[in-house]
Amino acid sequence: MNEFKRARDILAGIKDAEKKYKCEWGNIEDVVFYKSKVRLDERKRLLDRLVPDRVCSICEKLRISNKSWVMNKEKTSVICRSCCLRKFGKIVEEISFSHNLFNGIQFRVAVKGQRVAQLREELEITQREFSRQCGWSKGYQGGLENGKFKTISQMAAETIIEVFSNHGVVCKDVL
């Protein structure tokens, strides 16, 4: 692909992002939000194609969260994390050089626990159900909502955004 076409495609992607996610490229929080949202959307599209009913073919259990699935390297098949652990003893992921380079850096994200609780209650989801969809304990969810945790890992933040987006809520203001 020549450089002009590549630049045109990148510019088109930026304009789409500005419209869809109201992303301001000068704001680092917007850029991080946009990148995580794009990554989550791509994973969701792949999972919708591979397991549209979200039922594991091995254990036949319903797994709602997109983080509950492990994909093979070619991205052609998936199984739930529990079956992967039973079958292989560990979760095997493709590791790239850039992943190793930045693996030690842990980004923390400030969370507005009361806003998470408010959105969850508006959706009429119990704390137990929401925490199950996120993949953590009810106690951790309670700590988030009650202000025990002022910051959370980037993965936990992405999980909260993903669960809300699965229910049709864009929740940019909880972080």
Q: What is the 3-state secondary structure (H, E, C) of the chain?
A: CCHHHHHHHHHHHHHHHHHHHCCCCCCHHHHHHHHHHHHHHHHHHHHHHHCCCCECCCCCCECCCHHHEEECCCCCCEEEHHHHHHHHCCCCCCCCHHHHHHCCCCCEEECCHHHHHHHHHHCCCCHHHHHHHHCCCHHHHHHHHHCCCCEEEHHHHHHHHHHHHHCCCCCHHHC
pLDDT digit string (tens) for 77-130? Answer: 888 888 888 877 766 554 443 444 444 556 788 888 998 999 999 999 999 999
Domains identified in the chain and CATH numbers: 28-102 (no CATH), 108-174 (1.10.260.40)
Radius of gyration of the chain measured on its C-alpha atoms = 18
37: pLDDT strictly greater than 60: yes
Beta strands 69-71 and 78-80 are antiparallel
Say how far apart CA 154 and CA 140 lie, in whole Å.
Answer: 15
pLDDT digit string (tens) for 127-169? Answer: 999 999 988 899 999 999 998 988 888 888 888 888 888 888 8
Residue carrying the six token digits 């929740």: 171
pTM of full prediction above 0.75: no
Say how far apart CA 36 and CA 15 lie, in whole Å.
Answer: 17
Q: Which two tokens stand for residue 52?
A: 């549209």
Question: Cα dist. 86→51, 72, 89, 99 in Å?
Answer: 20, 16, 6, 25
Say how far apart CA 158 and CA 175 lie, in whole Å.
Answer: 10
Angle subtended at Cα 79 by Cα 76 and Cα 80, rounded to the nearest 5 degrees: 145
pLDDT digit string (tens) for 52-81? Answer: 888 888 888 888 887 788 888 888 888 888
